[in-house]
Amino acid sequence: MASPLKFKLNTGAEMPAIGMGCWAGFSEEEAEGAVSWFLSALKAGYRHFDTAWLYGTEKYLGEAIRRSGVPREELWINTKLPWHHPAIKTVEESLDESLRTLGIDYVDSYLMHWPQVVDWPDDVGALELLRGAYKLFQEGKQSITVKDWPTFNETWKGMEAVYRKGKARNIGVSNFSIKTLEKLLETAEVVPAINQVEPDGPYSGPDDRYCRMHPYLVQEDLKAYCNAKGIRLVAYTATGYSAVLTNPAIVDLAAKYEASPAQVVLAWHLARGVIVVPKSADPQRQRDNLNLPTLDTEDVRRISALDRNERYNKAGPDGKVNGWTYEQLGW
């Protein structure tokens, strides 16, 4: 059964509160293999799927949807503007490419993946680009360079255009801080409906260097700011991995609610009004992630009190995160 819980966006649309993250890995084989676990997610009841051009899985998500027989109108499909496209093509051209790849006429939400514009060519596929960037990162070399133009304010005008045309029924951002949101809102005519925080970066490999919004990084200031502006937060890969899941408080609460630590952390997000898009290829964990306990108010506070402001998404060898300094990102 699909989770009935939905959160209303500032457009009036109701977005499923639990989605399936669609990052599959760095290889085409992994991306193609995602069809099987997309299908199991659809069978389990997932109706919200979070993909991106950068993930290389749009094609395979579209294939799974067609094979599943689930009507398009029952689904919430989110994808993201590639972070190099604003410098080489319009937002509409990029979205049209994603729509063709997905095999659909519109997306339910379209996000600006990062505030910066990366200097990448347009004739290389997403996964090949990511593998190359990750290799440089591992070698301790500067891995990503960025362009000064267009600014995210200028790119947002293109996002607003596809929203007005109905190709994207909601638009939003990803990896935006209070600083970058304030700058965006100076010129925005449409307030972002969504801010997806700390999704998997292109270097999130076995060392688990990159973390997300989770109980060790609660980001109350960002949440309060977004709440005040009517922007809904979405947390990607939100459980915090073993560092959080083995915390004694989380383990104790898992026993109390007869749930797994991951279920407890996901339930904490929902209690705070944050949408979650955990990724799992395991059918049982997929079902578990749709079946979350309702936490007592005091237990929500107890988990929030674990906050350490601990951001694992740290600068790389070039002293930057994907081409920008902490100061530029507003971290």
What's the pLDDT tens digit per position in 172-202? 999 999 999 999 999 999 999 999 986 333 3
Q: Is residue 48 part of an annotated ligand binding site?
A: no
Rounded to 10 degrees, the C-alpha dihedral 4/63/112/307 comes to 50
- Residue showing tokens 């499923």: 16
pTM value is 0.92
Name the helix (H) or strand (E) containing 77.
strand 76-81
Query: What does the alpha-carbon distance between residue 161 and residue 166 come to, in Å, rounded to a whole number?
Result: 9
Contact in structure between 275 and 234 (CB atoms under 8 Å): yes
DSSP state of 321: B
Instruction: Give residue 214's pLDDT band: very low, low, confident or very high (50, 70, 90).
Output: low
- Residue showing tokens 């100076």: 186
Nearest to 13 by CA among 75, 64, 62, 79: 75
What's the pLDDT tens digit per position in 246-289? 999 999 999 999 999 999 999 999 999 999 999 999 999 999 99
Domains and CATH numbers, the chain: 13-329 (3.20.20.100)
Please state the rounded mean pLDDT for residues 99-117. Answer: 97
Beta bridge partners of 232: 194
What is the β-pairing status of strands 6-8 and 14-16?
A: antiparallel
Please state the rounded mean pLDDT for residues 155-176. Answer: 98
Instruction: Output the pLDDT for position 177.
Output: 95
What's the pLDDT tens digit per position in 116-126? 999 988 888 88
Instruction: Output the pLDDT for position 3.
Output: 61
> Which residues carry out catalysis?
55
Is cis: bond before 150, omega within 30 of 0? yes
Nearest to 84 by CA among 7, 155, 29, 181: 155
Instruction: Output the pLDDT for position 254.
Output: 97
